[in-house]
């Protein structure tokens, strides 16, 4: 099944402590990139962002930050925000509480942030409460690009992200190998489309 680009409003209301959209009175959008850093792919993303003077938020995997500290440093040096995406990209629905908390805590040693995004968007109530007790906000997304889904063509991914653009929207992309072809095709076109409609791109800050 291809996951729809939009999370149903009922689900957003049910999980209302999670962030689904940023409240803002500016004409701004929020790009987010999960699962990096990746030396080649994150660099390509950073080049595109720099060219368009766009800021973004990178939800990084702790183990990858440990392996690729230079590219992680570049993210920070260029003024983007980072968030915790666990140490080993574990699935909350398949992990016990202790295992989950340890993985989040390990990642926090490498990623200094008050933002967290659960891998696969999956975490249970106790895991959520743990993350909140550590002072981190759980940031979800408004629009899922689907860039990682090989059944979606680049054109289809582009259609998903440009539809119903609204200020405060959080867009989920991936700086990962699985998503590379679609993401690289779509990202710059998406930014250009948004800029033509007078939007700018900011990183998420709490
Ligand atoms: Zn992920």
Residue 84 lies in a domain: yes
Whether the predicted pLDDT of 124 surpasses 80: yes
Helix (H) or strand (E) run with residue 43 in it: helix 39-51
Q: Measured in angstroms, how far is the CA atom of residue 163 from the centroid of ligand 1?
A: 23
pLDDT at 105: 98
Q: What is the CATH number for 74?
A: 3.20.20.370
Domain count, the chain: 1
pLDDT digits (tens, 9 = 90+) for 90-120: 999 999 999 999 999 999 999 999 999 999 9
Residue 82 lies in a domain: yes
197 is catalytic: no
Whether the predicted pLDDT of 83 surpasses 80: yes
Q: Measured in angstroms, how far is the CA atom of residue 36 from the centroid of ligand 1?
A: 9
Residue 97 lies in a domain: yes
Q: Measured in angstroms, how far is the CA atom of residue 26 from the centroid of ligand 1?
A: 28
Residue 4 lies in a domain: no
**Whether the Cβ atoms of residue 58 and residue 80 lie closer than 8 Å to each other:** yes
Q: Which two tokens stand for residue 73?
A: 């440093």
**Cα 32 from Cα 139, distance rounded (Å):** 10
Residue 138 lies in a domain: yes
Percent of the chain whose predicted confidence (pLDDT) is above 70: 100
Task: Identify the sign of the CA torsion 182, 187, 188, 189.
Answer: positive
Higher-confidence residue of 8 and 178: namely 178
Residue 151 lies in a domain: yes
CA dihedral 169, 82, 150, 161 (to 10 degrees): 20
Q: Measured in angstroms, how far is the CA atom of residue 75 from the centroid of ligand 1?
A: 17
- Provide the residue range defining the domain that includes 128: 9-201
Residue 49 lies in a domain: yes
Question: The whole model's pTM is what?
Answer: 0.96
174 is catalytic: yes
Mean of all residue pLDDT scores within the chain: 96
pLDDT at 16: 81
pLDDT digits (tens, 9 = 90+) for 26-67: 999 999 999 999 999 999 999 999 999 999 999 999 999 999
Residues with beta carbon < 5 A to ion ligand 1? 34-35, 119
Residue with tokens 């998420």: 204
Q: Measured in angstroms, how far is the CA atom of residue 35 from the centroid of ligand 1?
A: 5
pLDDT at 5: 86
Whether the predicted pLDDT of 200 surpasses 90: yes
Band the pLDDT of 126: cuts 50, 70, 90. very high
pLDDT at 12: 78
Higher-confidence residue of 16 and 196: namely 196
Band the pLDDT of 10: cuts 50, 70, 90. confident
Residue 3 lies in a domain: no
């Amino acid at each position: 099944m291809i996951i729809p680009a939009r999370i149903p409003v009922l689900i957003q209301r049910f999980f209302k402590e999670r962030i689904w959209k940023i409240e803002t009175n500016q004409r701004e959008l929020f790009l987010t990139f999960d699962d990096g850093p990746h030396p080649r792919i994150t660099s390509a993303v950073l080049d595109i962002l720099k060219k368009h003077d766009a800021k973004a938020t990178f939800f990084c995997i702790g183990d990858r930050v440990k392996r690729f500290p230079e590219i992680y440093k570049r993210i920070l040096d260029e003024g983007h925000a980072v968030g915790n995406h666990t140490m080993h990209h574990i699935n909350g629905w398949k992990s016990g509480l202790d295992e989950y908390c340890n993985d989040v805590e390990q990642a926090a040693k490498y990623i200094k942030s008050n933002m967290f995004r659960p891998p696969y968007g999956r975490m249970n109530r106790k895991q959520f409460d743990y993350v909140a007790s550590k002072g981190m906000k759980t940031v979800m997304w408004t629009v899922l690009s689907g860039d990682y889904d090989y059944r979606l063509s680049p054109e289809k991914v582009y259609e998903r992200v440009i539809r119903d653009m609204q200020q405060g929207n959080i867009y989920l992309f991936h700086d990962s190998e699985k998503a590379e072809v679609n993401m690289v095709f779509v990202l710059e076109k998406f930014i250009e489309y948004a800029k033509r409609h007078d939007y700018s791109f900011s990183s998420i800050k709490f």
